[in-house]
Structure 1
Amino acid sequence: MQIPPGKKIYFSSDNHLGAPTAAESLPREKKFVQWLDEVKEDAAAIFLLGDLFDFWFEYKTVVPRGFVRVLGKLAEISDSGIPIYFFVGNHDLWMRDYFEKELNIPTYREPKEFTFNDKVFFIGHGDGKGPGDKGYKRMKKVFTNPIFRWLFRWFHPELGMRLAQYLSVKNKIISGEEDKKFLGEENEWLALYAKRKLETKHYDYFVFGHRHLSMEIKVGENSTYYNLGDWITHYTYGVFDGSNFELKEFTP
């Protein structure tokens, strides 16, 4: 993609809408909608790197209640012709085709390469990558098992949603509470993952979420790893203007 003059590409991650309660997340949802309204004015594309919801499960004919403000805004932006790309995170890994069919938003389950103005990006949520996250990696094998998903689908939505939302907040492996401390540039596992990727191919930028900490780490002579932070306490996002990538904080 060549970015037109005056246009930018925006990146955000880890909103966890619905946590810890719908009432408490509502102001954050409204703030995120404000951000979407602002960036749509000069956006060439918008990337959402996972965990938009604290829990999301699509039954055959049922999707979670709520989030109408953000879903409506995403539909409006998508309908206007601005492409939006969504990467499934560990909290919304049970997403199926709702975004693709209802909002015309492509959904990815693994990191993907993009090239903008001759700059090569490697983009994803970041869960389960690198040497860390061992507890979650074991749990993800269970959650993504087709048999487990089939069994969960037979729970009545009222029961299934309540159970999943409780675990999403209370279970430290699922919530990621154990992994929200900065480990140092030499130990950050997504930075280590990026360095390994550079052994086989050059990337200018690695952009991930999941860590809930905004960070910028040089991983090669001309390569940088960025983590987008979150929309719970930091309200940080990334922007690429066609030449440079920058982390910013949204302050309406």
Structure 2
Amino acid sequence: MKWANVKLIWLRELRDQLRDRRTLFTVAVLPVLLYPLMGMVLLKVMPFSQQQPVRIWLIGSERLPESPPLLVRPTPTAERQFAGFDDEQVDATQRLEFAPPQSPADATAEAEAAIEAGLYDAVVYFPPDFSDDLADFQQAFKHPGGRRAPIAVNVPSPHIYFDTSRDKSRVARDRVEEALRRWREEIVRETFRASNIPVVITHPFDVHTSDLAELATRRALIWS
């Protein structure tokens, strides 16, 4: 096949496509209108998902250790909130309520009923022995003479109940997990400091990355 014939066929097909207004609109006009619109919608939705108020019920949080705290009062008259977050943002986007310690069976039943009824967006259950076992775990790192006792304490895990089919419940779950993660990291740092262990041992190195793709390629991937 000669290149002249290939060029002739290509030009004919291109002319036919340009004559079709629907194809021309779909290929050239619609993306120009659709992609910016999708970007604007995404920018509107993301702050909404982050700022919508959620209700979180904490069961058995009364005996949690005071240092480091999981819950704080921004002001003496304010309600307790998760530590480590911007006070104004947290106060406007979440409501915490509390219940006394309960047995695992009772807590599970009440948490499931509360989530199914829509009374709360997430429920956090702390087992009755959580605080004592956590204190024993921290104490196990300390031993006279610089020697440390074997770690034989198993700290029970807090349990988060939520409904993944509800947007607000997923947002509440994410906030609880982030609060517990920050609190756990602070417990590790405080335990190491009290045991004269360098905190840097938990983060011995950083990972650096280099993206070798060309700028035009990265821009194309954004719109793909």
Instruction: Report the TM-score when normalising by structure 2.
Output: 0.26
Choose between structure 1 and 2: higher strand proportion.
1
Choose between structure 1 and 2: higher helix proportion.
2
The higher radius of gyration belongs to 2
Highest relative contact order (Cα 8 Å, sep 6+), 1 or 2? Answer: 1
